[in-house]
Amino acid sequence: MDRFAEWISQHNITEVECLVPDMSGIPRGKILPATKFLTSFGDRGLRIPEAIFVQTISGDYPPDETVTNPANSDVFMRPDPDTIRLVPWYTEPTAQVITDCVYADGRVVDISPREVLRRVLRLYDAKGWQPVVAPELEFYLVKPNTDPDYPLEPPIGRSGRPETARQAFGIDAVNEFDPLFEDIYDYCEKQEIDIDTLTHEAGAAQMEINFNHGPALSLADQVFLFKRTVRQTAMRHNVYATFMAKPMHNEPGSSMHIHQSLLDTVTGQNLFALPTGENSPLFLSHIAGLQKYLPALLPLMAPNVNSYRRLQRFSDAPINVQWGHDNRTTGLRVPVSSPEARRVENRVAGADTNPYLAIAASLAAGYLGMIEELEPSDPVEGSAYDMAHTLPRHLFDAMQKLNRSRPLRQVLGERFVAALMAVKQHEYDAYQRVISSWEREFLLLNV
């Protein structure tokens, strides 16, 4: 409490937002005056229903879910003092803090996405390994859209015209929205979100911002806050920012590429490269683990029904888990690098994923590969699009694969996997009840 009190006093904070990342990566939680926040540490602190961790993307709760307490009891919120930051877009001095949760007996809530990532990181720590990650996050800017039946459109930039052609890596295309990006960089700096380069991607008004590499939990926290920052900033400039995996037809989808490497916790040496500069056996086993387990991990990396529209051939997204050196057609790319920077880029995850779960999944797959001493396939020399589509094509297929994988259930936690399956099954069933405009257009009078 003393750390919080000192920080709040230094920044003249009057209000605090306590953020709990739910299964979809949505910030849930409570907002309260700063004085009330500080006094809340007595009597066990703030409380929130355990059921928020099984809340679906539409705000519903799975009726047949059996993991959480059927009485819908409270869990106790434990703000993490390492995560307190300003909310820079408010005029009133406001803080935000990422919050963990525990049960009444002190046990951590093991179905919390943040705790799932911690669980995987403890496995690495027990081996003397420190994973390092660097996410790359893509998103679209679109016109405000208040009618979900109406297709999304690119926004109007400073020229007064929307993009009508793809402008990959276009400098002037980015500058169409320069005031917006100046605010994003300013807000990120004030929140200690360590973003790096900005580029225009292949889609109309599709952008990518890269993060500097660092510890996995810290980067997951930063991505979680970054997505909120981008959405809030865009609305201040009268546009929407969307992290949907496939928001517009005939445009490429948006991904969250994850660069991951591995350090020795004692020496700091990159364990993915030999002193000669060659790939280490541990690195190859890490890649092999990604190849073996990523298809079953798609409920964490492609978590929505829309996610699978992105994973199409010739669409700047992978269709399999082939790997290759500096090969962007593969699911797993090894960039050209020095031995100190040896890493693999997991290109499977969509931008719509929960960053805690996507990073946990990617590291879990690599961990199992190293523990099982797996060997990867040969690297692809040409286009991986010429090879078979081996990733699941639908959410339901991916869920079945995860349910059948005992090693993944053990690494991620049986209770978490059961909770995730309940949430995703309910979301999938809800989607199946929706009749699309395509069905009405082509089936109404033709069948």
Mean pLDDT of 429-441: 94
List C-alpha distances in Å: 347 to 62, 302, 317: 31, 11, 7
Is 344 within 8 Å of 290 (Cβ atoms)? yes
Mean pLDDT of 125-152: 96
| Nearest CA among 93, 113, 69 for reference residue 12 | 93
Letter string b/e over residues 424-438, b meaning 16 or more CB atoms within 10 A of that residue's CB? bbbbeeeeeeeeeee
pLDDT in tens, 200-220: 999 999 999 999 999 999 999
pLDDT in tens, 74-113: 999 999 999 999 999 999 999 999 999 999 999 999 999 9
User: At residue 172, what are phi and psi to the nearest 5 degrees?
Assistant: -65, -30
**Does residue 134 have a pLDDT over 80?**
yes
Token reading at 15: 């209000």
CATH 3.30.590.10 corresponds to the domain 120-412: yes
**Does residue 368 have a pLDDT over 80?**
yes
DSSP 270-290: BTTB-TTSSBPHHHHHHHHHH
Comparing 13-22, 359-368, 406-415, 435-444, the range with the smallest average pLDDT is 435-444
Q: Which residue has the higher pLDDT, 179 or 42?
A: 179
**Does residue 244 have a pLDDT over 80?**
yes
Q: What is the CA radius of gyration of the chain?
A: 22
> What is the percent of the chain with per-residue pLDDT over 70, rounded to a whole number?
100
Token reading at 279: 């790939």
Partners of 131 in beta bridges: 262
**Pairing relationship of beta strands 129-142 and 214-215 according to DSSP bridges:** antiparallel
- In sequence order, the 6+-apart residues with CB closer than 8 A to the CB of 161 are none
pLDDT of 42: 72
Show me where the domains of the chain are located.
Answer: 1-109, 120-412
The 3-class SS string of 347-386 reads: CCCECCCCHHHHHHHHHHHHHHHHHCCCCCCCCCCCCHHH
Residues in the chain: 447
| Nearest CA among 379, 160, 209, 371 for reference residue 285 | 371
**Does residue 169 have a pLDDT over 80?**
yes
Is 283 within 8 Å of 335 (Cβ atoms)? no
How does the average pLDDT of the chain come out, rounded?
96
Q: What's the CATH code, domain 1-109? A: 3.10.20.70
Mean pLDDT of 345-351: 98
Query: Most distant CA pair in the chain: distance in Å?
Result: 70
**Does residue 65 have a pLDDT over 90?**
no
**Does residue 41 have a pLDDT over 90?**
no
d(CA 285, CA 297): 17
**Does residue 163 have a pLDDT over 90?**
no
How does residue 339 score in pLDDT terms, banded at 50, 70 and 90? very high
d(CA 16, CA 35): 9
Residue 321, classed as helix, strand or coil, is coil
How does residue 119 score in pLDDT terms, banded at 50, 70 and 90? very high
pLDDT of 407: 98
**Does residue 43 have a pLDDT over 90?**
no
**Does residue 1 have a pLDDT over 90?**
no
Count Cα neighbours of 22 within 13 Å in the Cβ-side half-sphere: 20
Token reading at 298: 């798609």
**Does residue 362 have a pLDDT over 90?**
yes
**Does residue 167 have a pLDDT over 90?**
no
pLDDT in tens, 253-291: 999 999 999 999 999 999 999 989 999 999 999 999 999
- In sequence order, the 6+-apart residues with CB closer than 8 A to the CB of 268 are none
Q: Residue 10, by phi and psi: left (phi above 0), alpha (psi -120 to 50) or beta? A: alpha
List C-alpha distances in Å: 234 to 42, 228, 238, 257: 38, 10, 6, 22
Is 190 within 8 Å of 285 (Cβ atoms)? no
Is 247 within 8 Å of 259 (Cβ atoms)? no
